[in-house]
Amino acid sequence: MEEVGREIRVNEIYGLPTPIQNLESIKTASVEHGLQTEQIGTYLIPIDLQTFVQVHVPVCVKHLVQDKNTSENIITSLTKEAIAKAINDPRALGDIKHKYDIVPIFRTVKK
């Protein structure tokens, strides 16, 4: 993401948005509809290089861009440049084998 920051102003990576829903909000919505929801497990999906460059990098770049009026063409160009430089830098993706998409598994039953 250093490459994106060299071209345009970016947000702090720690300021990236969090998901709108969490376990508590899902439980609350369930109760409102006469249901009970609990998380019964977590499924980890290993992220391969293709998933990383097609899904994760574009999302990260869009959230890093400070100026929301930045054109899609510029964002796409920066994304491609970041991907190209990461792929050619062995240090950039050195720990990709430790990256996972975390998918919670819920069970909802009628109360």
Residue 36 — left, alpha, or beta (φ > 0 → left; ψ -120 to 50 → alpha)? beta
- Boundaries of every domain in the chain: 2-110
Q: What is the pLDDT of residue 93?
A: 62
- List the chain pLDDT tens, one digit each, 111 residues: 666 666 666 666 555 566 778 888 889 999 999 999 999 999 888 777 777 788 888 888 887 787 878 888 988 888 888 888 777 777 766 665 567 778 889 999 998
